[in-house]
Structure 1
């Protein structure tokens, strides 16, 4: 349902807000505006926001205070700081406190667009891959107990760690745990999602650049290695780094030194590196997409995070955790847990999206649940399968799931299967999707007492997109009558 990313601009200069807002709208974003930090917090409370752009100097609540409030309540939300040349040092300090990036006045149009696009992509990747601060280190399965043991042994060492695992298994959470349990815990933890950065910008992102190094470099800027000095640098999706950049990265890791782009001065740092990937780097080496020497330098300690299907015993604990969270967020205090039949369905599902997928399923089920416990009927249709009496293959589970979906479609759409195929598959899918979409919006509206703004925030779409969707589904007129 989500169509456009939503950007919040917080700046006390009305002209600057208008100029930035116009540019962002031309670039395809929806824009919200606030004239000070307090108004920005109020806007965040009422809307789903993907990226925040904030000036450092504002009345009532300045940019640094706003940043601290956001990182405390929404640590995954990228915050871009606007600064004048004279306050660049403060902006760098903001990066160490958790800001995503900063831009300096006067703006270079291209640089500003690149920074915002990068932040938007990073926000999207974080949502998609389930970087799950506070929610992945849950479980008492042998696989997770082994992970805990490794964390205890290697956390307070300078050794490089390579975290591998499928998307949604919680790789960043492990990196944070390693940092927090080390003697560097009070120093910066700087993360870089290599998949979110265009290939031609990865060098300047990691190592910084000097003024005039390239078009748009109107001032010098430190890279992520410098910002992480004394602390930890987490390179997520390291398999996305171009081969020609891997040589310089290897040197920086081994020698703890490098030069900025366009610079001649060698900069020395003290950085503990943690890398993560969902790729098979050994296969990437065979296909000459990853350097073997870099792989061995990264792979001092390897931690493989198991997919959820390999730790089924942890599913009830994770479900309990998510139910508690969404009870408060969705104001569903009456829901106390999951029924036995629904839990059997959850245990039978292979969870290709891992913990992220489980979290989304529980959120959706909580939204639809009208009783004290989540029942099978509250779960998404593609999960409503009868668990096999004995452990079976994923193919058997998928076959049963397809059979039930076919049956549900026939009942819901009121159509009898016909040999001549009077109703095409695409039309069936479109009608079924519209029905589910309509039901979800209606439930969300009921949950928020008909408040469109709160409903949009609950569904994580912009208010404008929700209004458009309500009109398409015939809900707008129904609510206005």
Structure 2
């Protein structure tokens, strides 16, 4: 089998020689170019499996080469060599389509890891396309665009921020990026930033040493260490306290973390993905999220469409989800009849795909036969998801108030309805994490569990 080819682009002979020796010892065939013009010609002539390019070249810059290769040979990963601490340059390279970057002075072990990771991509493109099609169901234009973006981003190491409404499938997208990329053999660690108490967050993310605080009876690695070699997915990243945002920024920039109670930083190798249902740019504008961290994690922005934005996918998606749910319950005969599909198509799904899954699972349990009908969906008994849908009156100051008359004859039903709507909204905002929901509402977890069971919301 022929050795894989690497094109080295740098105007410094010493750097070219160092890279040539290191990569040759890895069993790779190397080619060198001293400027942008030579590099472009050699890319077309030899079609390398990987390109390493310096940022500053005598007749241009490395980003121009990245853009050229993205346009003419999109399957070739390009890694950028940048000056130490040049975060803006690194971000620009990643935005242009670079696979990853490495800073000068070049650490040889870091270089070997980068090259090995990049070369794992060779020959995987058709497999990636097929895998993403299988896991991301739908044919709507928004889904086809998302599928194409995931396939491309899976081959990169750039930080990606995933935007979308609660329940739209942001974690599913993050897992697809991880599972179809070179880090797939490593761990995928997902953490809901809104569900971790602020006083425990630093320990959870970075770990701690024995005796660093009361209750620290042994050393404990953090989530950054657990995700080493893989992907760390920070969900609801907008909920991070400002003090933790500073520490997260340093961890990303230095590619190292300092455990609580530790005096030295520990190197870490993770790909960072993040998500939130909030408008992160608006959070920056309001002073609740640091702009420097925003630009560091939002190198590439990925929008996940709501279920309403791809309504044509609903029948296909509902049938696929039901098939999976039924298989988990040992029911191979379950199906949706036409009346159920029509009823689902007429619903707005404020909770998106997660709400669709919950409705299907409940309907499967209630169905008398193998076929789920519109009656089994029980849409007629579902309460409005938004309290604003109720009739309101205005007081003398023009403020909205609830209509007391609605409670006449059925006070308990009225109160239950109000509580049901509040709990549903809080669950959606907390991504159905019950611990985070209880915290949001200021009640105990036991109280929340009791209320959900009483109101039949505990799916």
TM-score, reference length from structure 2: 0.55
2-structure distance, mates of 1:384, 1:227: 42
Counterparts of 1:120-131 in structure 2, within 5 Å, are none
**Displacement of 1:276:** 0.9
1-structure distance, mates of 2:258, 2:168: 35
1:353 to 333, 351, 354: 351
Structure-2 residue corresponding to 1:369: 367
Q: For the structure 1 residues 242 and 384, does the alpha-carbon distance in structure 2 shift closer, same or farther, using more than 3 Å as the test? A: closer
Q: Which has the higher contact order (CA 8 A, sep 6+)?
A: 1
Structure-2 residue corresponding to 1:299: 298
Counterparts of 1:188-199 in structure 2, within 5 Å, are 188-199=187-198
- Give yes or no for the alignment of 1:276 onto 2:275: yes
Q: For the structure 1 residues 365 and 293, does the alpha-carbon distance in structure 2 shift closer, same or farther, using more than 3 Å as the test? A: same
**Displacement of 1:308:** 0.5
Structure-2 residue corresponding to 1:447: none
CA contact (8 A) 2:133 2:147 kept: no
Counterparts of 1:171-250 in structure 2, within 5 Å, are 171-250=170-249
Structure-1 residue corresponding to 2:376: 378
SS at match of 1:303: strand
2-structure distance, mates of 1:203, 1:243: 12
1-structure distance, mates of 2:134, 2:382: 25
Structure-2 residue corresponding to 1:423: 409
Q: For the structure 1 residues 249 and 220, does the alpha-carbon distance in structure 2 shift closer, same or farther, using more than 3 Å as the test? A: same
TM-score, reference length from structure 1: 0.52
Q: For the structure 1 residues 136 and 363, does the alpha-carbon distance in structure 2 shift closer, same or farther, using more than 3 Å as the test? A: farther
2-structure distance, mates of 1:188, 1:363: 29
SS at match of 1:233: strand
**Displacement of 1:285:** 1.1
1-structure distance, mates of 2:175, 2:263: 33
2-structure distance, mates of 1:384, 1:206: 40
**Displacement of 1:255:** 1.6
**Displacement of 1:426:** 2.6
2-structure distance, mates of 1:371, 1:303: 41
2:342 to 319, 341, 344: 344
2-structure distance, mates of 1:379, 1:199: 40
CA contact (8 A) 2:336 2:373 kept: no
**Displacement of 1:349:** 0.9
2-structure distance, mates of 1:321, 1:423: 43
**Displacement of 1:239:** 0.9
CA contact (8 A) 2:256 2:266 kept: yes
Figure out how many residues of one structure are paired with residues of the other and give that number.
278
Deviations 1:236-285 (A, max 9, x none): 11111100111111111112012111111121122110111111111111
Structure-1 residue corresponding to 2:457: none
CA contact (8 A) 2:334 2:372 kept: yes
2-structure distance, mates of 1:205, 1:191: 12
2-structure distance, mates of 1:190, 1:352: 27
CA contact (8 A) 2:154 2:180 kept: yes
Counterparts of 1:466-477 in structure 2, within 5 Å, are none
1-structure distance, mates of 2:264, 2:412: 60
Q: Tell me, which stretches of 5 or more residues in structure 1 are unaligned?
A: 1-132, 386-393, 403-418, 434-460, 470-481
Deviations 1:197-254 (A, max 9, x none): 1011111111111222111112222111122222111111111110011111111111
**Displacement of 1:375:** 2.1
Q: For the structure 1 residues 134 and 157, does the alpha-carbon distance in structure 2 shift closer, same or farther, using more than 3 Å as the test? A: closer
**Displacement of 1:167:** 1.2
Counterparts of 1:2-21 in structure 2, within 5 Å, are none
Over aligned residue pairs, what C-alpha RMSD do you find?
3.5
1-structure distance, mates of 2:331, 2:228: 44
Counterparts of 1:50-89 in structure 2, within 5 Å, are none
Structure-1 residue corresponding to 2:259: 260
CA contact (8 A) 2:163 2:304 kept: yes
Structure-2 residue corresponding to 1:100: none
Q: Which moved more, 1:154-163 or 1:330-339?
A: 330-339
1-structure distance, mates of 2:174, 2:414: 44
Structure-1 residue corresponding to 2:159: 160
Q: For the structure 1 residues 383 and 150, does the alpha-carbon distance in structure 2 shift closer, same or farther, using more than 3 Å as the test? A: farther
Structure-2 residue corresponding to 1:141: 140
